Amino acid sequence: MAENEKKVVFSGVQPSGNLTIGNYLGAIKNFSRFSEEYKTFYCVVELHAITVRQVPAELRKRTYETLALYMACGLDPTKNTLFVQSHVPQHAELGWMLDCYTMFGELSRMTQFKDKSAKHSQNINAGLFTYPTLMAADILLYQTDLVPVGIDQKQHLELARDIAIRFNQLYGDTFRVPEGYIPTDTMKIMSLAEPTAKMSKSDTNQNAVVYILDSKDDIIRKFKRAVTDSDTRVCFSEDKPGVSNLMTVYRAFTGKSFEEIEREFDGRGYGDFKLAVGEACADGLAPVRAEFDRLIKDKAYLEEVMKAGAQDAFVNARRTMSKVRRKIGFVNI
């Protein structure tokens, strides 16, 4: 299939906070599987990050780190378009235009807006409210067919589809209506301290979160302290959220089924199980950490990748924006 006939994949990760194994297993690890058959755009979405106050120097540092992690996790910049969101101004331009085709009621129903408003009650800004429309612009700008997305972003993807359909009904065929890709085996990784809540990079309890760049000792220590229950049996069950979460992580890094895991640890108790999960996770992440350490030292190379990615993204984004501007009545010069 020719390059211009390939279907398109788009996804992005915020450079706010250290990325967790939830980010890795639920999103980044899956990105590389699309590189051969699709035209892929993977973005560092720092425009989204500033809906919450950021320390400027930290934001710049994490932008480089997120790009390096993309590559450390297997994304070859010669096969994937890797870029930084603000380097392609059409994201913000289309975001504003789509704001005008998104209903207030739709945005007010977004679960993440409610959650983040509760967490950041002193900074409930307009960007936090219209965040899903900018996400829709990110996706629709590249005529995206498929979006690898965490289950917590499913609502935002559904809104992007609704906006695309609405725009197309008003002006004719303009945007492709994207489909979501949600891995069924690693849909959501939960907190090690509170296994009924999603693992979050913003969690203040460092023992609740395993970061991609944690040392092996830290990873094993955190898993040893993970909350389970008063039972000692390793089995996957709704009434055992802590154990089930650890089994999900172990399955993701070993490829073993839940039935195989139950048989492996039958009668062995949680101590052996937690240690095995920690070691499997640490060993699985070791190549990623090593490659990241190499890449992050070469700032000039990372900037070359940013520039090349932005140029490729710009060409594709400009094509869509020319169509959108013409459809809504703007003058193109």
Positions annotated as catalytic residues are 116, 198, 201
**Residue whose tokens read 């989204």:** 48
d(C-alpha 101, C-alpha 246), whole Å: 43
First to last CA, the chain: 34
d(C-alpha 219, C-alpha 207), whole Å: 9
| 45, two tokens | 């979405």
Do the beta carbons of residue 136 and residue 170 sit within 8 Å?
no
The residues that bridge with 10 in the sheet, in sequence order, are 41
Strands 179-181 and 146-148: parallel
**CA torsion, ordered 271, 218, 42, 95, to nearest 10 deg:** 100
CA 31, 91, 45, 301 dihedral sign is positive
